[in-house]
Amino acid sequence: MTTTRDLVYTGFMSLDGVFDSPGASSEGHRNGGWVLQAEFVPEAFSLKDEELAETSALLFGRRSYEAFSAFWPGSAEHEPYRDIPKYVVSTTLGEDALVDGWGPTTILRSLDEVAALKREAGGAIFVHGSTELARSLADAGLIDRYNLLVFPVLIGPGKSAFGSAEHGTQRLHLRESATYPNGVTKLCYDVAPAGAEVAA
C-alpha cells in the first residue's frame, strides 16, 4: 500500500458553515472580522501551534497566496512559516509574481500535480484560507483531514471550503475535539477513504 502525505485543510468557520472574511470586512464579506469579535482565549488557538509543529509544506490558491504573501513575510507572528516550502495551485500565476525571502515556492498547474506532491516523501501539507481551492481538492478526493475552529456566530451566506460536486455521503471520523470558554469549538476530522463513504 502506497503511503501518501496528509493534506490538511485548516480554517476558522462560523456556525453556519462560512469561512469567509474571518479577519476583516475588507476581505469581502459584509460581516467580516467575526474571529476578532470573539473573546480572546489563548487556549482556543492552541491548534495553530500544534499544526505548525506538523507542517512540512503549505498549499495555497492564487488569491490566498497573494493575500498572505503580502502580510505574512513581515509579520513576527508568522515568522515560523517563513522557510517552510510553499506551493501555489494556479493556471495564471507567473514565476515573477512569487515573493522573495518567503521560503522555496513552487507553482502547481493542476490537481494532478497536487496528487503527485502527496505521493512524494514528506510530512503533512496544510491549506490555509483558499476556500475555492479547498472545494476543488475535496471534490477530487485529495483532502485527508479538516482542522476546524468553529465560532459561535452566524454571518449569513458566504464562502464554504467543503466540496460542491454531487457525490454520495462522505464520512468523517472525529480525531480530536475541545470546547473553550468563549464558545469556540475545535473539531478535527479524518476523511474516510473512498469506499467507506456509506455505512453498511
Q: How many domains, in total, are found in the chain?
A: 1
Q: Is residue 2 part of a domain?
A: no
Q: For residue 116, what are the CA distances in angstroms to 38, 79, 88?
A: 39, 28, 14
CATH number at residue 132: 3.40.430.10
Interaxial angle between packed helices 111-119 and 131-139, expressed in degrees from 0 to 180 and rounded to the nearest 10: 70
**pLDDT tens digits for range 9-40:** 999 999 999 998 887 776 777 877 888 889 99
Q: Is residue 54 part of a domain?
A: yes
Q: Is residue 160 part of a domain?
A: yes
Q: Which domain holds residue 72?
A: 7-169+178-184
Tell me which amino acid residue 66 is: E
Q: Is residue 200 part of a domain?
A: no
Q: For residue 154, what are the CA distances in angstroms to 17, 31, 140, 149, 160?
A: 8, 9, 29, 14, 13
CA angle 97, 99, 104 (to 5 degrees): 110
Answer with the residue of higher pLDDT: 45 or 195. 45
Residue that has been written with the C-alpha cell 476546524 in this structure: 148
Count the Cβ atoms, other than its own, within 10 Å of residue 170: 16
**pLDDT tens digits for range 90-134:** 999 999 999 998 999 999 999 999 999 999 999 999 999 899 999
Q: Is residue 196 part of a domain?
A: no
Question: What is the percent of the chain where pLDDT is above 70?
Answer: 93
Q: What is the pTM of this model?
A: 0.90
CB-based contact 33:150 (threshold 8 Å):
no
Q: With 0-12 CB in 10 A as exposed, 13-18 as middle and 19+ as buried, what is 26?
A: exposed
Q: Is residue 79 part of a domain?
A: yes
Q: Is residue 193 part of a domain?
A: no
